[in-house]
Chain A
Amino acid sequence: MKKICIYGKGGIGKSTTVSNVAAAMAEKGLSVAVVGCDPKADSTRSLTGKKIPTVLDSLRSGQTECLAFQGYLDILCIEAGGPEPGTGCAGRGIIAAIREIRERELLNKIDAVIYDVLGDVVCGGFSMPLREGVADEIYLVTTADFMSLYAANNICRGIRKYAQRGSIRLAGVIYNARSSMDNPGLVEDFAHKIGTQVIGKLPMSELIAKSELARQTVLERYPKSEVSNCFRRLSDMIMKGKGRCIPTPLTDEEVEKLCRHQF
């Protein structure tokens, strides 16, 4: 089983990437699962067309028969969920959900599972997918904005720590052009500097927004569009999965210098 997780700054396009890549993999006949590791629980919305009950909701209410739901092209959708905002520990929530998934062997017959993880590595709970046995490969989503690269670099520090102890590896950077700045060169530079490469590029596109409103992936809504093809190419690259590395994060100054250089 291919076990990957997607990290990146908040709002940078992780969930969009996860659901569309999952759809692209499923089109190829793979049996795919998406696990949302974000208390917002919106990772699978465009696959199921609704907000599904989360693992934590179910544990809380005691109705634990069904934790996984069938989405578009039979993609298995699971949302870890979180406590009510302001109380409880969302990080612990992710840990509890992943434990539940394991114990129930929900991912047993799956070819590829994608974990969609919240913004930054804020605590042990959110770094859970980095730990032994949960995921094998990490992809970083970033735009060409300084703060986005800065966050990606920070995440690399976390990844490095876990990678040195176990088998988890950084497998590539996904460039999302959703920004006032379109500068793929900068992101490529960054990727090389931290020891990896850009394995996919997503254009800024209205179709993404429209599909989101229709609660669908772009692949379902606009299957023939160029954006859909981008996701298909990206998913092929991920399935090939070459070039895994332990990242070498930059210093904060180096990230700043790199970004200043473009102007």
Chain B
Amino acid sequence: MKTAQECKLFGAYQALAGIEDAVVLLHSVVGCNFGTLSFHVPNRMQDIRQACTVISDNEIINGGEKSLKLALDSMLELYKPTAIFVISGCVSEMIGDDIQAVIEPYSQDQCIIRYVESAGFRGDFCDGYEHALLSLADLMEPYKVSAKPVINILGVSTDDYRAAADKKELQKLLGDQAELGTVFSQCTLDEVRKAPCAGLNLVLGHGIDLAREMKYRFGIPYELIDYPFGIEGLKEICEIFDRRFNINFSEDLARIKNEISLGLEPIYTYLQACYGMPAAVIGRDARAKGLRRFLEKELGMEVVRFARREEVGDLEEFYMTVRNSEVAVLFGSSFEQDLADELKIPLVRFDYPIFDEVCITGRSFIGTSGVLCLIEDILNAVMRNRVLKGALY
């Protein structure tokens, strides 16, 4: 059996490690630190703000509270952070460390220290993500809603593929008419604090618990949308702005459409080969659904195998259904490479975790350039493939 999702600790890490002036302390064994780092490093090597108490035999027997205190002291001295998120793991929760009691005495300090329970045996990636993101609600302060419409984005993970570039594209789209508020969690602690000044929370699949909480505490409405891949994705966001704030983006949308068709002109014949090409998509909720919409509605591909990671019990079962299909191109994470190799089909990476690729050019996957980049990646992956499954040439 292969699990389709990482454990609760990874979810919590993905929810919190992206808060730029905070640091994450994993109160767990070294493997958890190694694992989270190995997914993080290819994405943001210059930005490592995490440490681990490296629980071993001695802590398991005698308790890990001393080590936790030691680690907190060292982190305060070395990083001088505005906040530390203490993420527990299976081992510290099993041996019963009283983490809250250890961090309590630090509450007088300038630095905010929060404990986020994340034992792997108590939940999966989604549980960890939701629970950790929700814990940020306590840091928020009531702000008066600003004059210009502001929207927050919820559901972006620290190491989400191309998320930083996508954020910039979104900002570009909104132009002067609206403002991108806090992107959870690629933001600063101050932005977290000020998140209640937004007029709307856009939830990209995950982060729904925090969205509900913010609605309850600050009256901020939320909308659940798929990841805005392609023109359809942007259209959905524009419609929301129209409906909620009476802002019309139709001109911008038309311009983007035009730019995209101009950009695609030189490769038009290749694009035709995408029609009816059988594809398989596996990814987390909003990303998987958003990509499927793009592939089917805009490229005319046929997504014959589809899975939301959250729903997959045994990854092998999904892989088996892909094996028993005509799939010519696979969309997924780095973990799907073995299957792609086995089936001799190309893999297009689009969803966390991606750890076998770097990106320094800031290519996004949404907006004008994003759509072009994504199509470029798909075509190149198919064309590079040694077996003619894609039937492109």
Interface set of A (CB-CB < 8 Å, partner B): 56, 59-60, 83-84, 86-89, 92-93, 96
Interface residues of B in 265-304 (CB under 8 A from A): none
Establish whether residues A88 and B96, one from each chain, have CB atoms under 8 Å apart when the complex forms. Answer: yes
B95 within 8 A of A: yes
Known A88-B95, A89-B94, A89-B95; contact A83-B63, beta-carbon cutoff 8 A: yes
- Residues of chain B from 293 to 340 with CB closer than 8 A to chain A in the complex: none
Q: Are A84 and B61 in contact (CB under 8 A)?
A: no
**Measured CA separation A89–B97 after assembly (Å):** 10
**A87–B97 CB distance below 8 A:** yes
A56 to B60, CA, bound (A): 12
Q: Are A87 and B57 in contact (CB under 8 A)?
A: no
Inter-chain contact B61/A83, CB cutoff 8 Å: yes
Q: Is B47 an interface residue (CB 8 A)?
A: no
Interface mask (B90-132 → A, CB under 8 Å = 1, otherwise 0): 0000111110000000000000000000000000000000000
The residues of A that contact B98 with a CB separation of less than 8 Å are: 86-87
Which of chain B's residues have a CB closer than 8 A to the CB of A88? 59-64, 95-96
B169 at the interface (CB under 8 A from A): no
Q: Which residues of B contact A89 (CB under 8 A)?
A: 60-61, 94-95
Query: What would 13 more interface pairs be, CB under 8 Å, given A83-B63, A87-B62?
Result: A60-B62, A83-B62, A83-B95, A84-B62, A86-B63, A87-B63, A87-B64, A87-B95, A87-B96, A87-B98, A88-B61, A88-B62, A88-B95
Residue from B65, B95, B97 whose CB has the most chain A CB atoms within 10 Å: B95
* B contact residues, total (Cβ < 8 Å): 13
Chain B residues within 8 Å of A, Cβ to Cβ: 57, 59-65, 94-98
Q: How far is the CA of A93 from the CA of B57 in the complex (A)?
A: 10
Contacts of A87 in B (CB 8 A): 62-65, 95-98
Query: In the complex, what residues of A have CB within 8 A of residue B64's CB?
Result: 87-88
CB distance from A58 to the nearest CB of B (A): 12
Give bound CA distance, A92 to B59, whole Å. Answer: 10
User: Which residue of the partner chain A has the closest CB to B97?
Assistant: A87
- Residue with the greatest number of chain B CB neighbours at <10 A, chosen from A56, A59, A86, A87: A87
Contacts of A56 in B (CB 8 A): 61-62
- What are 30 A-B contacts with C-beta separation under 8 Å? A56-B61, A59-B61, A60-B62, A83-B62, A83-B63, A83-B95, A84-B62, A84-B63, A86-B63, A86-B96, A86-B98, A87-B63, A87-B65, A87-B97, A87-B98, A88-B59, A88-B60, A88-B64, A88-B95, A88-B96, A89-B60, A89-B61, A89-B94, A89-B95, A92-B57, A92-B60, A92-B61, A93-B61, A96-B57, A96-B61
Q: Who on chain A is nearest to B91 by CB?
A: A89
Residue of A nearest to B94 (CB): A89
Most chain A CB neighbours (cut-off 10 Å) among B57, B61, B97: B61
How many whole Å from A13's CB to the nearest CB in chain B? 28
Taking CB as reference atom, which chain B residue is nearest A93? B61
Taking CB atoms, residues of chain A closer than 8 Å to B95 are: 83, 87-89
Nearest-CB distance from B217 to chain A (Å)? Answer: 33
Q: Contacts of B61 on A, CB cut-off 8 Å?
A: 56, 59, 83, 88-89, 92-93, 96
On chain B, the residues within 8 Å of A96 by CB distance are 57, 61
Q: What's the Cα separation between A60 and B60 when bound, in Å? A: 12
Q: Within 8 Å CB of A59, what residues of B?
A: 61
* B96: A residues at CB distance < 8 A: 86-88
Q: A180 to B59, alpha carbons, bound, how many Å?
A: 43
